[in-house]
A and B are shown apart, each in its own frame.
Chain A
């Protein structure tokens, strides 16, 4: 049982065996891609992968909280698009100032989070159903609001100062923001009452309720955090790609969930790792960059992330079965 011994080494235990392996996978992927793809190494590809990692990362951080409660949110991708479309339409067609538009984006996400959370926590509608429904609602709202037009946020040169949230010159400002928010998430999850209750109720809801804790409030909060982060994700999506079209966004659900479960968050609830989610997101982002660089279409990415989710969840199920 050499593996067991390795896992017991203090530094490995502190960083988490799973996270070390994932980081290895990430580095290995990068090295392999650099070797087999011409001109893959270097800043342009990294910047491109980072653009993908930002918005996906915020989605994934958010859904980590929801999955920690034992729930699931399949609406985050379309909600992100809804946030980007509604706020973008306000900006471009109603002359709302930039800063206010960005705030609107976050607020739209927050509202969806409250909606999902309230239904799940207080009305006890299964999260699967709630989020499937609000996925459609998000798409519908976005289409109605924008009259089914795509929205293009301004380029940096034309007053698009918000894009400096993503990068300034060659410096990736986004990564600083992303890490900062990830650290805040990690602190919330591990060092506050909210995080303690969210994880505990994900592990054993009844025991927490019978301890006299208002579990509904804390469960709802997880969805609110998730929605709010989808609103922030929207800013980074348009910051990187400018244009959004109504009716899309579903594929990012799966990718965000993949990043999260790959990082060691248990779909059964109760166990979550923000650090793991961050690494998981980078792997997904690099993967999509690699797939495009190898000349495959985006469709392959769908297949691969689909498989990743299954493998990661299966690994989690097996790990728990062994423990029992």
Chain B
């Protein structure tokens, strides 16, 4: 005994309601496949590693509280500057005004 087509349609309709699908017996192009696609943005934008907390960040956060840490690189730099100054190889004094900078040029 052949089932009635209307019965089959009804079954499909109930199926679609239960599984929250789109009931589309005429097979129209309704673009629902685009709504079904998942968003790719979050996974794509997570390709490169995010910035993590660095030594510099820690220094910056604790400096206002008066807590300083030993920074070997900074220590080395200051030591080198001191040595250079003793040898007379330190940086020249910053010229603050136009007149100062002009006189400095003339000396040469």
- Asked if A and B bind, the verdict is no
